Amino acid sequence: MSVSIDGACATRFEPIKRVFESLWDDVEVGASVCVYVGGEKVVDLWGGWQDQAQTRPWQEDTLVNVYSTTKGPASLVTAMLVDEGLLDFSARVTDYWPEFGARGKGDVTVAQLLSHQGGVAGVDRKLTVEDLYDWGLMVDLLANQPPLWPLGEGAGYHAVTWGFLAGELTRRVSGKTLGQYLAKHVCQPLGADFYVGLPDSEMRRVADLIGPNRARRQPVAADGPPASSPPLNAIALANPVIAPYKHACSTAWRKAELAAANGQANARGVARIYAAIAGDGEIDGVRLLRPEGIDAAAQLEVDLDIDLVTGVPMRRARGFMLNTDGGYGPNDTSLGHGGAGGSLGFADRGAKVGFGYAMNQMQADPNVVPRSRQLVDALYACL
């Protein structure tokens, strides 16, 4: 596919632009990539289309659902609350949310909850997508949910429920929803284009997600039976099933506050937030939190344990994912979060890098090098 790439790229980082352009030789439809180094924006590119039919060009300010890349800025919110003294990672969740202690969860700490060790990766009740829009229902279900594994015996990816857990803690200690806190204390001061709970005024800017099954190229079928998933996979990832177009492109989804899965953003907004983290909590004179606050949020909680939901090893801090296999560059201390389909944001405090990539065509073939990884590798080759 031939597309026009718009934006700016410093000469030193031209290899990133060439890699970005090459992504349309594969499955890319519409996308943006942005990189800060040392507090300076050195790459800010976009191109392609907002829809599969290629009728709406991707614009400078186009937003798209970034799925679990949302968990990164949401983790920054909890880190800021700790830095303000409103929340304590070592405290029990019940110190702030007493009802959560039901059914044997009274000893779960905030750090354990945010690092996916609390055992509430899903609920026993069969859910619909519409249930996710009922905050009271979801937090009550989670408070009364028996843990899916014993505390201290592993971590399992809380793909959707994490947003309600972090969100309810935020609401209890700050009086604001997580989306409101993010907007007032992070995005507005930084000028970062990132929303959890999209206003009606911004709906016109959002691109359509395109599911993996709609990609121009499909993976070659593997020989033999498909690999089996861990038993907890279904309750965490498929209750409810969230369809990329039918559900995640709906107005109701975009307006909801699902801090685990429904951030509406572009690469510039993602990178701007991570650039502040890479700057030890500050960029352009705007300080979000102290360096010690980032240190606390970045503390290792889960070290390459096999995840009980995904079945793969993961390194986790207190909400943020920690670098694994070079996905966030060569520095093990880099932290961030990716989203289903391929979006990514991370901060490398050592190299002072803030990175963001957002797209609408979800990754189709899990066996190829992710598009985000190609961009990350090109970035570090330039440094």
Cβ proximity of 38 and 15 under 8 Å: no
Describe the strand order of the beta sheet including 321-322 as a list of residue ranges: 5-9, 40-48, 30-37, 353-359, 344-348, 335-338, 321-322, 313-316, 302-306
CA separation (Å) from 179 to 77, 260, 297, 325? 9, 11, 19, 31
- Going by C-alpha positions, the residue among 309, 296, 375 that lies closest to residue 335 is 296
Cβ proximity of 127 and 235 under 8 Å: no
How many Cβ atoms sit within 10 Å of the Cβ of residue 98?
13
- Residue 33: is it exposed, middle or buried by C-beta count within 10 angstroms (0-12/13-18/19+)? buried
Rounded distance between C-alpha atoms, residue 267 and residue 359, angstroms: 9
| C-alpha 155 chain-centroid distance | 18
Cβ proximity of 110 and 93 under 8 Å: yes
Rounded distance between C-alpha atoms, residue 269 and residue 192, angstroms: 4
Rounded distance between C-alpha atoms, residue 8 and residue 33, angstroms: 11
| Peptide bond preceding 15 in cis form (omega within 30 of 0) | no
Q: 22, 32, 68, 343: which one is catalytic?
A: 68
Decide if 2 is catalytic: no
Q: Which residues are catalytic, by number?
A: 68
